[in-house]
Amino acid sequence: MSKRLHIKKEVLRAVYFNDSLSCAEISERIEKSIPTTMSILSELMKDEIIEEAGYAQSSGGRRPITYSAKADAFYIVSVAMDQLITKIAILNFKNEIVSKVFEYDLVLSQNEQALKNLTEYIKESIKKSAVSTNKILGIGIGMPGFVDIKKGINYSYIPSGHETIASYIYRNLNIPVYIENDSTLIALYEQKFGTTVGDHNAMVVNINWGIGLGMIIEGQIYRGYNGFAGEFSHIPFFNNKKICYCGKYGCLETEASLQVLVEKVNDKLRAGTIPSSLELLTQRNEEENVAKIAEAAMNGDKLVLETISEIGYDLGRASAILIHIFNPEKIVFSGRGALFGDLWLPSVLQGINENSIPRLAEATKVVVSKIGANAELLGAAALVLENGTKVLTNNTIFEH
């Protein structure tokens, strides 16, 4: 890649990850001179990739022109997978979802056809969106399990035979593909656009069918030695003799996850000892069950609020471990479970405060993400731009 093409990539990343920036601000971020930056901006505007976005607020003197990404310059296919459901959406260059969010029932456990099905679903979603494939920068995919992003393999789900997941999909769709663990993607979104912008040390807890963890340490996404860091679900936490799907007993997710929330609510409904507006949750679609529980919670359902409190307390106790080990400035509860909003906080904070050294706990701010369920989809788009060297050099627009 030529030096000028590399600078173009850096300028594009700067405007993508920020609403709008002046030439001086872009110059500072990419560490290039203002004349060089302005020259690149002029070329990108001529190519209709970025556009002027008005004037910056005045701090005295002439107000500088700001620049932002042009929404329809490129598109990104974002894929958010969990153990049961796969969501696919098309996002524009301003990180806005411009298609329907397509949902597919794709059970990953013991599914030899998962990769083939996933590829067909992506192809189908692109076709339904009516976005031209030559304007698609890449496909970003978030998935649960042990994801080796260097080898392009998921050791837990989605068997790919003798080739990588990315190469299989690329071979069939001819679009660059990037994969990442779902919780790491959520942390990436929160770092770039969400609740942890500007934070150097933060833990992002993904409340889903299991409990994932994305870690931001010294301003960088931390993946561990071989990329498997953050398996918060499987810390041995309970002496409950419950076997986890991983084969061990007493993992955190055996008592604290959305799957457990549905099970506990149903158990209490069957017992009939606490009044509730809910009827027994019998939907095969667990997402619909969670949505019903969330609606009941917002309406003050005593049974549901009690169950959220029980799980929140255990999440707080587990978060105390993170506080003692990492001393983060912030813990963010994100993912699908953020649907319940601040209802988590009283019991989470109780669990933290009862199990943490005060000097450590008082330094950590605990919040619930405002983006919630779409964080993984939005993070998948950011993944493409984060790793976009190949993507941008493969796009003919940049091959002047």
Taking the C-alpha atoms of residue 248 and residue 51, their distance in angstroms, rounded to an integer, is 54
The mean of the pLDDT values for the chain is 92
Amino acid letter for position 345: L
Res 400 pLDDT > 90: no
pTM of the complete model: 0.90
Average pLDDT over residues 171-198: 94
pLDDT of 389 reads 55
Residue 396's pLDDT is 45
CATH of domain 75-185+377-398: 3.30.420.40
Summarised one tens digit per residue, pLDDT across range 257-312 is 999 999 999 999 999 999 999 999 987 788 899 999 999 999 999 999 999 999 99
Mean pLDDT over 316-332 rounds to: 98
Note whether 132 and 98 are within 8 A (CB).
no
Tell me the per-residue pLDDT of 121-133, one tens digit each, with 9 for 90 and over: 999 999 999 999 9
Whole-number Å distance between alpha carbons of 295 and 197: 30
Q: Which fold has domain 196-370?
A: Nucleotidyltransferase; domain 5 (3.30.420)
Q: How many CB atoms lie within 10 A of CB 61?
A: 6
Q: pLDDT at residue 375 above 80? A: yes
Percent of the chain with pLDDT over 90: 78
Q: Render pLDDT for 15-72 as a digit per residue (tens, 0 to 9).
A: 999 889 999 999 999 999 999 999 999 999 998 999 999 988 766 678 899 999 999 9
What pLDDT, on the 0 to 100 scale, is given for residue 1?
Answer: 59
Q: Identify the pLDDT of residue 397.
A: 44
Question: 201, 194, 224, 308: which is closest to 260 by C-alpha?
Answer: 308
Residue whose entry in the numeric block shows the structure tokens 């993904």: 206
Chain centre to alpha carbon of residue 200? 18
Q: Are 39 and 32 in contact (CB under 8 A)?
A: no
Continuous H helices in the chain: 3-16, 23-30, 34-46, 114-129, 165-173, 182-192, 258-271, 286-298, 302-326, 345-355, 358-361, 375-386, 389-394
Q: How far apart are CA 288 and CA 300, in angstroms?
A: 19
Q: Which residue has the higher pLDDT, 388 or 367?
A: 367
96-100 contacts at long range (C-beta below 8 A, 24 or more positions apart): 96/71, 97/374, 97/377, 98/129, 98/131, 99/125, 99/128, 99/129, 99/131, 100/128, 100/129
Token pair in block for residue 253: 């997710």
Sequence-distant (6+) residues with CB within 8 A of 137 are: 74, 75, 76, 176, 384, 385, 388, 391, 392, 395
Asked if the domains at 75-185+377-398 and 196-370 fall in one CATH topology, the answer is yes
What CATH number is given for 3-69 in this structure? 1.10.10.10
SS3 184: helix
398 falls in which pLDDT band (50, 70, 90)? very low
The pLDDT, as a whole number, for residue 59 is 67
Under 8 Å between Cβ of 355 and 317: yes
Instruction: Render pLDDT for 216-258 as a digit per residue (tens, 0 to 9).
Output: 999 999 999 988 999 999 999 999 989 998 899 999 999 999 9
Residues 6+ apart with CB under 8 A from 193: 17, 95, 371, 378, 382
269-280 residue pLDDT tens: 999 999 999 999
Buried b (16+ CB within 10 A) or exposed e, 3-37: eebebbbbbbbbbbbbebbbbebbbebbebeeeeb
pLDDT at 380 over 70: yes
What residues does 140 pair with on adjacent strands? 78, 178
> Which structure tokens are listed for 194?
């969400």
If one compares 386 and 102, the residue with the highest pLDDT of the two is 102
Indicate the domain borders of the chain.
3-69, 75-185+377-398, 196-370
Distance from C-alpha of 347 to C-alpha of 365, rounded to nearest angstrom: 15
Residue at token pair 């890449």: 138
Give the model's pLDDT for residue 160.
Answer: 85
